Every structure is written in C-alpha cells, then in structure tokens.
C-alpha cells in the first residue's frame, strides 16, 4: 500500500465531509426560507484495483441531491397574494433576464407597476382570464404566458347593459291615469343616469303605454329612449311584448370621442302585472360607478380575481403551473428557483387542480422542508468523520517521516 495513497484517501474523506458540511450549512441557513428544498450529500466509494497482492487505497466521491419533490408544511398569513401549492407542481416566474423559471416560493407582493413579485424579485406568470374558455396551453413550453399585472384594475367602472323592472299597474284606476318610477343606470364612464319609466292607461282596457325617458339635469331636455304598448290578459299577466323584454336606445352625452355613452339596455318586464292593487315597483339595472380595488381573491384552481370596494369581484388571470417527470433532478439556482435539466425531463404545463397538479392555497406559504434536528445530527457526524479522516492523513504523514529518516 502506498503511503501517498493513504494520505490521498484521507484527503478524499476530508473533502467529502467538507461537502456534506457545506450542504448542512446551506440547509440550516435556509431553514426559514419559503419553499426551500433541502440538499443532501450522498457518498460513493472509489476503489482502485489491487495488483500483486498490494492494496491500492481509493477514496470517496460525493453527489449532492435535492429533495425538491418533498413538500414542506404551511404557514398561514393575512395576504391573499401569498401562495402555496398543496401537491405537485411549480409556479412559473420570470426574471429580469426575461427567462422563465420554476419555483415553490410563493410570497408574492403587488408592486407599483402592477406585477406580482416574490421576495427574490421574480414575476408571477399566467394567462388572461376568459369566462368562455380556458386559454390554449402549450404543453411543453412557455409560449402563450403573460405577466400577471394588476395595474389595469386600479379603478374601474362597469357600464349598464341590462336590467329588470316588475311593476303592478292598478286595474281599477279610471282612464286617464299615469304613474312613474325610476331606475339608475351607469354610462361608459361610470356616471349615474336616472331613467324614468312612465305608465299611462289607454282607452282600451288591459292596455298601457310605457315610455322610458332621460332628462338632462342641466338643460332640462327630455330624450325618449323607448316606447312600448303593454297588453295584459284577463288574469292580469303580461302578454305583449310576448318575450317580456323592452329594449331601449343608447345615447351619447356630449361631443367627441371621449364623451360618455349609455348603451342600449335590455329591460326584462316579465314580472309586470295588472291587478286590483295599488301601484308598486321593484327592479334593478346592472353596472357600477368608478370603484377602487379593495383586495384580491385567488381560488384553489388559480383564478385571480380583483375585489372592488363596491362589492364587485372580477376575474382577471389564471395562474399557470408546471411540472416535470423528475423534480428532484431540476437544477437549483439562486433565488430559490429551478431550471430544466437533462435528467429532470421536459416541462409540462397545466392548471392547479387538474390531474397531476396540486391546488393553490391563498394566504399561505410553504415552509422549508429542512429538519433542524436532522441537520445538527449530520453536522456532528461530519465533524467526527472529518476528524477521523484527518487522523488517517496525519498517520500517513508520520509514517512518511519514519521512512525518510531511515536513510539518516
């Protein structure tokens, strides 16, 4: 056995334990890092062939593995944009370099530019929400993704498009008789517009004229938006219009491209009756005045909705998720992110809650999966093993001194 080989083996053992201690140090340092996945050092022997009865000492090599697929526990917060994944999958984030990465670190915060960034500065990616169909996903790539940006939701007004109005017209009133009620609608800029609905008897029994008008509050000009004759059967139910719908005309308030407009409205009159009871009305028109954002709501399937202080909840984006065949073989990068490697397999896109993907927890963060007690145990073991390997090196060095001193 070569004394030099003995010393080299001791150095190999010390290097291996140093690598293990480095992994332990990283794990302990990131014990409180959101979404951090612990590293572990695996050892494998390096054996050299023996010749002529002489033993050739080898050494040990190390390989670092990451427990990326091992889920951590959850810490619950008061922020709706703090996100955790319960199950498989990764959030897709984009760095300042414009490149997409995978992460489980979901401490996202709305920024001044409207983007959602985690503590490492990476922007959350997804798809614009559609109520009619899910976005088309490029299964094996990031094409079609867009930055989730909430800047366009800072202030919003919803123009009116439809409504309903159910009234009872007293059947025992003598002709001529007229009664009016009003509903508030909203134009394209969120201004309120009071619409007057006037019901008047005609000379024909069971028949009423309905007019819908708007009166300009400044000039006093009256504009007729709709006129309809209502007919009732002998039980007091509305028969004309047959579908119970009244359509009003739209109008523009002012001059120029920026002038507010009131769109044509479809008013459902189906609940209108003519019975021997006093005049009564109940109805509403959709739309809202300008309203500021009061918060956000994210469902377990990744639909991000903006909450306004008028109570509206409007879906804006669908958070995208990704997965790979072998998550533990992803390449870890600074910022608690991962990139695809040759061993991890291809990236497969999907949605939270779909087959193969976990659900999203809003107001929660995934903890590091580091066990401090386990890491401290590993640290003590490495310390002892490093000392033992240093003794091997020291013994080989002392034997070399003996050998050299033989020639004196």
Contact, 360 vs 83, CB < 8 A? yes
* DSSP run (H or E) holding 84: strand 83-86
| CATH class, range 160-286 | mainly beta
Q: Residue 232 is inside which H or E element, if any? A: strand 222-232
Q: How far is CA 59 from CA 188, 226, 389, 390, in A?
A: 77, 93, 11, 13
Distances (CA, A) of 365 to 34, 72, 118, 333, 360: 7, 9, 11, 20, 10
The residues near 204 (Cβ < 8 Å, ≥ 6 apart) are none
Q: Encode pLDDT of 157-194 as tens digits.
A: 889 999 999 999 999 999 999 999 999 999 999 999 99
What is the average per-residue pLDDT within 11-20? 90
Percent of the chain with pLDDT over 70: 95
Lowest mean pLDDT among 38-52, 77-91, 100-114, 291-305: 38-52
Tokens of 226: 């709709």
Is the backbone peptide bond immediately before 176 cis, with ω within 30 degrees of 0? yes
**What is the CA angle 299-301-305, rounded to 5?**
40
Bigger pLDDT: 9 vs 228 = 228
- Centre a 10 Å sphere on the Cβ of residue 302 and count the other Cβ atoms it contains: 27
pLDDT at site 139: 66
Q: Does residue 234 register a pLDDT over 70?
A: yes
The DSSP secondary-structure symbol of 132 reads S
User: How high is the pLDDT of residue 257?
Assistant: 87
User: Taking every pair of C-alpha atoms in the chain, what is the biggest distance, in angstroms?
Assistant: 140
Our CA dihedral for 85, 134, 151, 142, rounded to 10 degrees, sits at 70
Q: With beta carbons less than 8 A apart as the criterion, state whether 122 and 101 touch.
A: yes
- Residues in Cβ contact with 180 at an 8 Å cutoff, skipping those fewer than 6 apart: 196, 197, 198, 199
Q: What is the pLDDT of residue 3?
A: 74
From residue 116, how far is each of 79, 121, 162, 287, 353 by CA, in Å? 12, 9, 35, 28, 21
Instruction: Supply 251's token pair.
Output: 């109008």
Q: What is the pLDDT of residue 154?
A: 66
Res. 119: pLDDT tops 60: yes
Question: Which pLDDT score, from 0 to 100, does residue 235 have?
Answer: 96
Closest to 383 (Cα-Cα) out of 45, 24, 31, 46: 24
Q: How far apart are CA 276 and CA 203, in angstroms?
A: 18
* pLDDT of the residue at 360: 97
Domain with CATH 2.60.98.20 in the chain: 160-286
Total-model pTM = 0.72
Backbone angles phi, psi at 385, to 5 degrees: -65, -35
- Tokens 């033989």 locate to 406
Residue 269's pLDDT band, with cuts at 50, 70 and 90, is very high
DSSP 3-state helix, strand, coil percentages of the chain (rounded to 5)? Answer: 15, 40, 40
What is the distance between the alpha carbons of residues 321 and 102, in angstroms, rounded to a whole number? 9
pLDDT value at position 153? Answer: 66
- pLDDT at residue 138 tops 80: no
Q: What is the enclosing helix (H) or strand (E) of 64?
A: strand 59-66
Tens digit of pLDDT for each residue in 24-73? 999 999 999 999 999 999 988 877 777 766 766 778 889 999 999 999 99
Give the DSSP H or E segment for 14: helix 3-29
For residue 1, the model assigns a pLDDT of: 53
Mean pLDDT of all residues in the chain? 91
- What is the mean pLDDT of the segment spanning 393-404? 81
Average pLDDT over residues 292-315: 89
The Cα angle at residue 376 between residues 375 and 381, in degrees rounded to 5 = 95
Does 395 have pLDDT greater than 90?
no
What pLDDT digit, counting tens, does each position of 238-249 carry? Answer: 999 999 999 999
Pull the structure tokens for residue 5.
């080989």
């Amino acid at each position: 056995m070569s004394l030099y080989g003995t010393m080299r083996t001791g150095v190999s053992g010390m290097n291996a334990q140093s690598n293990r201690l480095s992994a332990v140090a990283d794990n302990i340092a990131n014990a409180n890092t959101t979404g951090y996945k612990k590293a572990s050092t695996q050892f494998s022997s390096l054996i050299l062939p023996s010749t002529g009865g002489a033993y050739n000492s080898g050494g040990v090599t190390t390989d670092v593995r990451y427990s990326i697929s091992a889920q951590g526990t959850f810490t619950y917060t008061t922020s709706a944009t703090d996100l955790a994944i319960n199950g498989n999958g990764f959030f897709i984030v984009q760095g300042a370099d414009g490149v997409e990465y995978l992460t489980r670190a979901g401490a996202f915060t709305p920024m001044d530019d409207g983007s959602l960034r985690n503590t490492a500065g990476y922007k959350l990616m997804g798809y614009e929400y559609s109520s009619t169909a899910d976005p088309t996903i490029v299964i094996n790539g990031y094409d079609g993704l867009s930055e989730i940006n909430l800047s366009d939701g800072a202030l919003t007004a919803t123009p009116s498009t439809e409504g309903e109005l159910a009234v009872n017209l007293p059947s025992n009133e003598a002709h001529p008789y007229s009664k009016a009620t009003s509903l508030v609608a909203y134009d394209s800029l969120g201004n309120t517009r009071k619409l007057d609905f006037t019901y008047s008897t005609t000379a024909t029994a069971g028949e009423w004229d309905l007019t819908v008008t708007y009166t300009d509050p400044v000039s006093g000009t009256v504009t007729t938006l709709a006129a309809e004759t209502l007919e009732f059967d002998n039980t007091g139910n509305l028969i004309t219009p047959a579908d119970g719908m009244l359509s009003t005309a739209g109008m523009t308030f002012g001059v120029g491209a920026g002038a507010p407009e009131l769109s044509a409205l479809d008013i459902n009159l189906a609940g209108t009756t003519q019975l021997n009871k006093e005049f009564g009305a109940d109805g509403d028109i959709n739309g809202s005045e300008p309203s500021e954002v009061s918060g956000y709501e994210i469902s377990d399937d990744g639909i991000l909705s903006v909450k306004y202080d008028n109570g509206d909840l409007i879906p804006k984006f669908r958070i995208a998720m990704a997965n790979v065949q072998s998550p533990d073989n992803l390449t870890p990068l600074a910022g608690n992110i991962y990139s695809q490697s040759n061993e991890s397999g291809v990236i497969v896109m999907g949605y939270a809650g779909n087959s193969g993907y976990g659900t999203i927890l809003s107001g929660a963060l995934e903890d590091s999966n580091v066990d401090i007690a386990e890491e401290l145990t590993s640290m003590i073991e490495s310390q002892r093993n490093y000392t033992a390997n240093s003794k091997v090196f020291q013994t080989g060095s002392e034997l070399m001194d003996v050998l050299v001193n033989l020639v004196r």
